[in-house]
Amino acid sequence: MPLRASALGLALLAALLLPRGPLRAAEAQLRAELAQAKAEIEQLRKALAQSHREIDQLRDKVAARQQELARAAKELEKLTRELQDANRIIENIRAADPRLFPGKPLPWPEPRRPEKPLQAKVTGVDKALGLVIINKGQRDGVRKGDWFVVSSGDRFIGAVIVDEVFPDMAAASYTKYAKGNVEVGDDVLLGLAPEGEKPVTKIVALGDSTTNCVKKAGVTEETAWRTLLASDLAKRLKRPVEVLNAGVDADIAPLALKRLDRDVLDRKPDWVVILLGTNDAGFFRPPNGVAATPRVAIEDFEKAMREIVGRIRKAGAGVVLATSLPMSGHYGLRDLPAYKQNGLNYLVKQYAEVTRRLAKELGLPLAEVHEAFEKHPERDAMIPDGIHPNAAGQRLIADTLLPILVRALSEAAPPK
């Protein structure tokens, strides 16, 4: 016992004799490390909790998606059953009367000249079927194959051909001929077509972005010169006219020739308006290049135009040529040396002259679109981006073409 007490006393004495500074520093460091470890553990706990929350959210989304897929599968199964039922009904009807479902589209009634003019109203429209109901029928002398011009006020809408006639009404489809939406209350006029004339005069406009003009310089389909021209011609000629778009941005005569069958001749037009030359005469190279020579040599432009005209006439359609649109002072390449030295439209004028010469040589109607813009005091304002006319410019193109086409369509039938 005295020995143990002696050893303890020595240990206490040694502890008392050791310096206290190093021990405190070591203790402080250990406490700091412990605090840092606790903080990191807390961060890990928070991150783990966040991960658990995100996993729960993902599980909820997956569960919701699975429910949506299950509902979609049930809906698809329902639609499949309904389609099968509909097919069975059609088969039963076909078995009862094969004429109702011959396996190919039913023949469209042959348009014919009605016995007498007749004014009427649209009393019903089914847009899903493209069906128009007219408040005149057998008692008024309406017959299958009669055609009506549809208008709303001064706005020409299109033509409809009678599919079926009942005592007091006629049913017609507007999906084939009408160019706008037919509404209840629209006026219809029966009996405008001379003997043997087609219900709708079809004109195809072949050109570049000046023809494919929508969404350029603020132009809409309603303000495009094609739409304006169709409406104006219908009013002047007292019969339906449609002007179809065969314009392609940045196009040139040789490329227009390559697509002539697909974009023009296959549509079987009565007349074709050709407005080309501005791009052919330019130094611009799509999409963003510039060259020192015109994009199409002038002799190649003339050769392509000759072939386009020849093939259109051979197909039985008439041709109206229009001189190429000039550029305005807003054109992005106006500072090219050649333009500075010779004038902005010096080449376009040469290509327009080729069009004039071809019209004279081939005996074709000519619309002086180039001169109409060059002589107009607001030319630059009407071509705000340098090459594409705005709504006012569209009106000018339509007004320039209108008298030429009225004369052509009134005085001469398209060549056969």
* Report field, pTM of the whole predicted structure over 0.75: no
SS3 content of the chain, % helix, strand, coil (to 5): 45, 15, 35
CATH of 118-190, one of 3.30.750.24, 3.10.20.30, 2.40.10.340, 2.60.120.620: 2.40.10.340
pLDDT at 173: 77
Q: Mean pLDDT in the chain?
A: 84
Looking at CATH, the fold of the domain delimited by 201-411 is given as Rossmann fold (3.40.50)
Judge if 118-190 and 201-411 fold alike in CATH terms.
no
pLDDT at 396: 97
Residue found by looking up tokens 């329902």 in the block: 78
78 against 250, higher pLDDT: 250
Residue found by looking up tokens 């340098």 in the block: 386
Biggest distance spanned by C-alpha atoms of the chain: 146
With cut-offs at 50, 70 and 90, classify the pLDDT of residue 28: confident
Q: What is the mean pLDDT of residues 97-112?
A: 42
pLDDT at 161: 81
> Any idea where the domains of the chain sit in the sequence?
20-102, 118-190, 201-411
14 against 294, higher pLDDT: 294
Is residue 113 pLDDT above 90, yes or no? no
Q: How far is CA 373 from the centre of its chain?
A: 27
158-191: per-residue pLDDT in tens?
778 888 889 889 888 776 666 667 889 888 877 5
CA angle 168, 171, 173 (to 5 degrees): 165
Q: Report percent pLDDT > 70 for the chain.
A: 81
123-127, 260-264, 311-315 — which is least confidently predicted?
Answer: 123-127
Q: Report percent pLDDT > 90 for the chain.
A: 48
pLDDT at 102: 43
Residue found by looking up tokens 């709504």 in the block: 391
Cα–Cα distance for residue pair 333/290, rounded to 1 Å: 9
pLDDT at 24: 78
pLDDT at 277: 97
Is residue 330 pLDDT above 60, yes or no? yes
pLDDT at 415: 39
Token pair of 76 as six digits: 């698809």
Q: What is the mean pLDDT of residues 202-222?
A: 95
352-361: per-residue pLDDT in tens?
999 999 999 9
Q: What is the mean pLDDT of residues 321-337?
A: 95
226-283: per-residue pLDDT in tens?
999 998 998 888 777 889 999 999 999 999 999 999 999 999 999 999 999 999 999 9
In sequence order, what are the beta bridge partners of 158?
150
- The DSSP annotation for 141-197 comes to T--TT-EEEEEETTEEEEEEEEEEEETTEEEEE-TTT--S---TT-EEEE--SPTT-
